[in-house]
Amino acid sequence: MNDRIRSPQVRLVGPDGDQIGVVPTQEALQRARELDLDLVEVAPLAQPPVARIMDYGKYKYERDIRQKEARRKQARTELKEIKFRPKIDAHDYATKKGHVDRFLRGGHKVKVTIMFRGREMTHTELGRKILDRLVEDLGRMVTVESMPKQEGRNMIMVIAPNRRFLEQEAREQAREASAAPQPEPVASMPASDTDEG
């Protein structure tokens, strides 16, 4: 920027984006100072380097805002965790399956943990059955990212949303919503000519 530009000449771009051409760096600096702006090297690897006359403070501020906006728009994939027991009740299973469904629809991966206690360790196949049943119940909406594996007293599996299936489902729902007949608006009763009061 400004006096730090080492190249003897630059391809100059004006403050409004118009191409001025190749000029000596000192002349480009002089033009920038006359406009009370900065000379900023925007393409240092070009031959000759491209420099633009601009308000660097404003440019930097706008760039930071754009970067912050881009970071905010990036999909944040979190790893959610849900825990089951090998002897889980049917109602509890349905509730936890609903949580897993909601996490997946939110675009998150889910770490499913089966916790074994005491003698349950001799029947780890019960945990495997629960994990297999969960994947089967969720169907095409889920992809298994890491197969069930035993880690100490826990059996762990990681599942992720099948984005293609979820996008297709969302499109179908939108199509159904637009094709559904809209209810007729209820006509209001005309006001009576004789107001009592």
pLDDT in tens, the chain (197 residues): 666 777 888 888 888 878 888 888 888 888 888 888 888 888 878 888 888 888 888 878 888 888 888 777 665 667 888 898 888 888 998 999 999 988 888 888 889 999 988 888 888 888 888 888 888 888 888 888 888 888 888 889 998 888 787 777 778 877 877 776 666 656 555 555 555 54
CA dihedral 130, 131, 133, 135 (to 10 degrees): 160
Q: Tell me the C-alpha distance between 52 and 43, whole Å.
A: 9
Beta partners for residue 11, in sequence order: 22, 50
Domains of the chain: 2-56 (3.10.20.80), 79-173 (3.30.110.10)
Q: How far is CA 32 from CA 19, 131, 193, in A?
A: 14, 67, 76
pTM value > 0.85: no
Q: In what order do the strands lie in the sheet with 50-54?
A: 19-24, 9-13, 50-54, 38-43
Q: Tell me the C-alpha distance between 165 and 141, whole Å.
A: 6
Q: How far is CA 179 from CA 165, 166, 174, in A?
A: 21, 20, 9
